[in-house]
Structure formats: structure tokens, C-alpha cells
């Protein structure tokens, strides 16, 4: 597991004391939390003897490895060395960073606790891989905390780090739970400082009646918390959205790309792709109205963007409708790599290789939400892409993290081209925010769907016809509000 690839989003710290764990089994709680979406685990045990600690750490490591998630050990470096897990977390009163690094070697993760900018800078300069910032709020889980710094204290450390030029990952800890996570993330990460990379919790998951549900809820909040970062990254770069799309949506897609902050070009001729791929944008390959000539163009452009390292969004429109389209999907998937594959249930089933028959491009749903989540996850794993499976409840997965997005409005289903323009919206986000394609995709989805909700209830909207211009207005308004720092609209986001 490469150190640079670690996802600090939902960071579970364990506690085996009966007051928090109750009579549950720690390994089972960690496994459930991983199913819910925990992205990194720290085994923290101040009481057990060495033999018990090694045994517990080994059992936890077996579980975390199955999920491809790193396991760190709190303080007890010798236990981490013996178990061979991915690293340690050390507090200010624990072993010195340099000594821990000597024992662990250069490839292991070492995180350090910091309560002030001085401690944070010292840890950065020593070479720490991430910082745990706290204590945010007083918590009965750790009674000996020295300073309660609140979200404002976290924000000032983040500001200090960014003005010193450090981009080290950070999480905050202390009293974080499902009720305050959204406001802690927003208040801690207020512009212009770098944002927190995640939240670390003990009791919000370990003491929860349903640790998987608690973890899922926190993951949704962490992902929602990054939406403004994505939209601001778009505003900072106005990225190119190169659309190779169908005849029906050319104009609508170009207008949506503009409204969400992108710079659209509708260019179906692949000879242009090599030049366009150098402009730092993203490509949308939309298979609607496919022709043999079109497919050749798609393959050539896909390969040009792959060579330039630019994101590519595949929209396999009507993929299951005809054998021509089913074969076109297969050909495209074997010709290059996609960053995002977006489609409805029939389309994603076709990408999966299932033999489904779609009537047209409209969507019919026969799977339950958990089945849709499994399908999205499986396709993400087999293709390496983020999969966006649209429907009344959308599902998005990168093969590790799987989320549901429950926003949108029925008018989106009564106007042609909205699915295609969601692909365009996502391409703009992917172009601007390369560090996490899942965050970028979710940002595109909630921006798009909440704009639709706002448009649908406007007084001047009387049906699908008047909805379209209002929708474009609202896309632009939501984006502008976000760039100005007003993210009240995000309270409507239903990400879980």
C-alpha cells in the first residue's frame, strides 16, 4: 500500500474499554466499520499487556488487509514492528518521531498528534506522513487532553501549515460525531486554508449500535465536506470539457458546461483530440447516436487523453439496446482507461457484461439499492473507474468507497439530455480536481441534482419546458454562491 495513496477520510481509532466497546467484539466492530466505509484504522490500546496487544493487532490487521485499508498502532512502535502493519500514530508524549522512523524504516506511515502550529510545523519538518489535530471538543474518551482547540483552532493550524507551504494530510480528533461532523469540517476548513483530509473518531463508531451505518454516515459527510473544494478548483481553472457527444444534446451540454464553470468544446473529430488533450481538460465519450466512424473517433480520442493523463468520462448511452452498442462498449473498454463511467442500471449492467435488453435510453430499474451498490462496486473494481449509477437514488463507487446520493427531481427524467449533461458536469469536476475522482464525481452529482431541486420549485417553472432554463440558472447560481463561500445549499445534500 503506497503511503501517498492513503485515504484519511474516515479514520477509526479503536478503544477496547467496556465503557465504549460495551460487550461487543472489537474485531467484529472494526469489520462492520470497514464495510460502512472507514478508510484507515488505528489500534489504540493503552491497557493490554504486550502479548495481548500483538494478538489483537494481528487479528485487526487480517481484517484491514482484506479491505485494502491501512492499520496503524497507537504509540506502541514495537507492536507495529512485530505485526508488520502499515505504521504508527504517536502523541507528543510518546516515542520521538526520529526514533520511531529508525525502527519502522522509510516506507511505513507515521502520524503525529499536534495541538498547535508549533507542534504541527515541527512534525512536518521531521517528516511525519500526516497530522492528527486536536482536541476539537472535550471528550470522555480521552480525559487527559491538554488543549481543547475547537474548529477555530484547527483552522488556524491549517492556515499556518498552508502559509508555510506544507500540504501534509490532516485529520481532526476529539468529540466528532454524526451530528457535528458537517459543521466541524466546514468551520475547520474555511477558505483560504487547506481543507482537512478527514475526521478521526472513537466513540462515534465504536460505541454505535450499528458501526457500519455510523461509518457510512460519516463517510457521506466527509465527501460532502469536499464538494466546495471541487467547485472552487473549477473556478480557479475553468477547465476544458471536450465533448464527443450525440446529436441531441450538443447545445444543452455546452450550456451546462458553461453554467458549472467549465469551458466546453464539442469536437467529434478525433484528429483534434491530441491537441485538445494537452489543454488540461477532460474528455466525455457519449455513445448516443453511435456510428462506426464515431466509434473509431472515440477510440482515438480516448487513447490521446490516456496518453496525456487527462480524465475521460464514458457515458454508455443505451448500451444494452442493440448488439452494435453492446459491442461498442466492449471495444471502448478494451481500448483504454476511463476515469468515470456513468450510466443507468441497464447501461452499467451492460458494462458489467450482463446480457440485458434495454428498450431505449430511458431507465428502468429492477435491482434493489444494495444490489445496485454491489453492481457499481464490481464494475468499479473491474474497470478501475469511478462508477456513477444513476436512478432515483444514485450510487457511486470507486470499488472501495460506495455511496448513495439521494438528490434530484423528477423533471430531470422528463427532459431529454439531462443524463448526458450530468456526464459533462462530472467531466468539468474531474478536470479540475484530480486528487480524488470519487470526490469530483460526487461534487458534480450534488451540484447538478440540488440545482434541479431548486429550479423545480421556482415560481416561474410550470413544467419540464420552463424547467430547463431555470435549471441552467440554478446550476450557475449554486456554483457562484459556493465560490463566494456560501455553502448553505449543501445542507440539502443527501449523501450516505
Q: Which of 204, 277, 412, 475 binds ligand 3NM (CB under 6 A)?
A: 204
Could you tell me the smallest distance in angstroms from the CB atom of residue 53 to ligand 3NM? 16
- Name the residue nearer to ligand 3NM (CB basis): 141 or 418: 141
Site string for ligand 3NM, 292-321 (x = CB under 6 A): ------------------------------
Span of 97-105, 121-129, 132-140, 233-241 interacting with ligand 3NM by CB under 6 A? 132-140
Q: Are strands 402-405 and 87-90 parallel, antiparallel or unpaired?
A: unpaired
Residues 71 to 130 in contact with ligand 3NM, rule: CB under 6 A = 113
Binding residues for ligand 3NM, rule CB under 6 A, total 18
DSSP notation for 231-257: HHHHHHH--EEEEE--TTTHHHHHHHH
List 142, 166, 232, 325, residue binding ligand 3NM (CB under 6 A): 142
Could you say whether residue 135 binds ligand 3NM (CB under 6 A)?
Answer: yes
List the x/- string, 3-32, binding to ligand 3NM by CB under 6 A.
----------x-------------------
Active site annotation includes 420: yes
CA angle, residues 163, 165, 170, in degrees to nearest 5: 90
Closest CA to 277 of 307, 320, 256, 251: 307
> DSSP letters along 311-358, please?
-EEEE-TTTTT-HHHHHHHHHHHHHS--SEEEE-HHHHHHHHT-----
User: Does 421 help bind ligand 3NM (rule: CB under 6 A)?
Assistant: no
Active-site pick, 85, 124, 172, 420: 420
Stretch that binds ligand 3NM, among 135-143, 157-165, 304-312, 347-355 (CB under 6 A): 135-143
Q: Which is nearer to ligand 3NM, 13 or 193 (CB)?
A: 13
Toward ligand 3NM, which CB reaches closer, 174 or 437?
174
Q: What are the CA-CA distances from residue 399 to residues 378, 403, 430, 433 (Å)?
A: 7, 11, 17, 19
Question: Which residue from 56, 145, 397, 425 is in contact with ligand 3NM, where contact means CB under 6 A?
Answer: 145
CA distances 230 to 277, 306, 373, 445, 452, Å, are 21, 22, 24, 12, 19
Return the residue of 9, 175, 220, 444 that touches ligand 3NM, per CB under 6 A.
Answer: 175
Stretch that binds ligand 3NM, among 138-146, 308-316, 334-342, 390-398 (CB under 6 A): 138-146
Cα–Cα distance measured from residue 455 to residue 416, given in angstroms and rounded to the nearest whole number:
16
Q: 130-133 and 109-114: which strand pairing?
A: parallel
Run of H or E including 162? helix 150-163
- Residue with Cβ nearer ligand 3NM (87 or 264): 87
**Chain-centre distance of CA 482, in angstroms?**
18
Report, in this order, helix, strand and coil percent for the chain, each rounded to 5.
50, 15, 35
Decide: is 203 part of the binding site for ligand 3NM (CB under 6 A): yes
Name which of 119 and 453 has its Cβ closer to ligand 3NM.
119
* Backbone torsions φ then ψ of 70, nearest 5 degrees: -70, 145
Which residues between 182 and 201 bind ligand 3NM (CB under 6 A)?
A: 201
- From the list 51, 69, 48, the residue with the least C-alpha distance to 60 is 69
Binding site for ligand 3NM (CB under 6 A): 13, 44, 113, 132, 134-135, 139, 141-142, 145, 173-176, 201-204
Question: Which residues carry out catalysis?
Answer: 420
Amino acid at each position: 500500500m503506497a503511503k501517498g495513496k492513503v485515504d484519511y477520510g474516515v479514520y477509526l481509532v479503536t478503544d477496547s474499554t467496556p465503557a465504549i466497546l460495551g460487550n461487543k467484539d472489537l474485531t467484529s466492530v472494526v469489520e462492520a466499520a470497514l464495510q460502512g466505509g472507514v478508510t484507515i484504522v488505528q489500534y489504540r490500546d493503552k491497557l493490554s499487556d504486550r502479548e495481548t496487544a500483538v494478538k489483537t493487532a494481528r487479528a485487526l490487521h487480517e481484517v484491514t488487509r482484506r479491505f485494502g485499508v491501512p492499520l496503524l498502532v497507537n504509540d506502541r512502535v514495537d507492536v507495529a514492528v512485530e505485526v508488520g502493519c502499515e505504521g504508527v500514530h504517536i502523541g507528543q508524549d510518546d516515542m520521538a518521531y526520529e526514533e520511531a522512523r529508525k525502527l519502522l524504516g522509510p516506507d511505513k506511515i507515521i502520524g503525529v498528534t499536534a495541538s498547535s502550529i508549533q507542534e504541527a510545523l515541527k512534525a512536518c519538518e521531521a517528516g511525519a506522513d500526516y497530522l492528527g489535530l486536536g482536541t476539537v471538543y472535550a471528550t470522555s474518551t480521552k480525559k487527559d487532553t491538554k488543549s481543547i482547540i475547537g474548529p477555530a483552532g484547527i483552522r488556524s493550524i491549517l492556515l499556518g501549515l498552508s502559509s508555510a507551504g506544507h500540504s501534509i494530510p490532516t485529520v481532526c480528533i476529539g468529540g466528532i460525531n454524526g451530528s457535528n461532523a458537517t459543521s466541524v469540517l466546514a468551520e475547520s476548513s474555511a477558505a483560504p486554508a487547506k481543507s482537512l483530509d478527514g475526521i478521526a473518531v472513537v466513540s462515534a463508531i465504536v460505541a454505535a449500535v450499528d458501526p457500519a451505518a455510523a461509518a457510512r454516515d460519516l463517510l457521506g459527510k466527509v465527501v460532502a465536506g469536499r464538494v466546495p473544494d471541487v467547485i472552487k478548483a473549477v473556478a480557479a481553472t475553468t477547465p476544458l470539457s471536450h465533448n464527443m457527444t450525440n446529436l441531441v444534446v450538443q447545445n444543452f451540454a455546452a450550456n451546462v458546461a458553461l453554467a458549472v464553470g467549465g469551458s466546453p468544446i464539442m469536437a467529434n473529430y478525433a484528429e483534434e483530440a491530441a491537441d485538445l488533450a494537452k489543454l488540461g481538460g477532460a474528455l466525455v465519450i457519449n455513445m448516443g447516436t453511435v456510428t462506426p466512424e464515431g466509434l473509431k473517433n472515440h477510440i482515438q480520442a480516448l487513447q490521446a487523453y490516456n496518453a496525456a493523463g487527462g480524465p475521460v468520462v464514458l457515458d454508455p448511452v443505451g448500451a444494452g439496446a442493440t448488439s452494435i452498442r453492446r459491442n461498442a462498449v466492449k471495444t471502448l473498454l478494451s481500448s483504454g482507461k476511463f476515469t468515470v463511467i456513468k450510466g443507468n442500471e441497464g447501461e452499467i449492467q451492460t458494462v458489467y457484461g450482463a446480457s440485458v435488453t434495454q428498450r431505449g435510453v430511458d431507465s428502468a430499474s429492477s435491482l434493489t439499492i444494495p444490489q445496485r451498490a454491489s453492481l457499481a462496486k464490481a464494475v468499479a473494481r473491474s474497470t478501475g473507474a469511478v462508477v456513477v449509477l444513476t436512478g432515483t437514488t444514485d450510487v457511486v463507487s470507486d470499488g472501495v468507497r460506495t455511496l448513495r446520493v439521494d438528490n434530484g427531481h423528477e423533471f430531470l427524467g422528463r427532459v431529454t439530455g439531462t443524463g448526458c449533461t450530468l456526464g459533462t458536469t462530472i467531466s468539468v469536476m474531474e478536470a479540475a480536481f484530480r486528487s480524488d475522482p470519487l470526490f469530483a464525481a460526487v461534487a458534480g452529482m450534488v451540484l447538478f441534482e440540488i440545482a434541479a431541486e431548486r429550479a423545480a420549485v421556482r415560481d416561474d417553472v410550470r413544467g419540464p419546458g420552463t424547467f430547463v432554463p431555470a435549471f441552467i440558472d440554478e446550476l450557475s447560481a449554486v456554483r457562484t454562491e459556493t465560490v463566494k463561500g456560501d455553502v448553505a445549499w449543501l445542507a440539502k445534500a443527501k449523501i450516505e
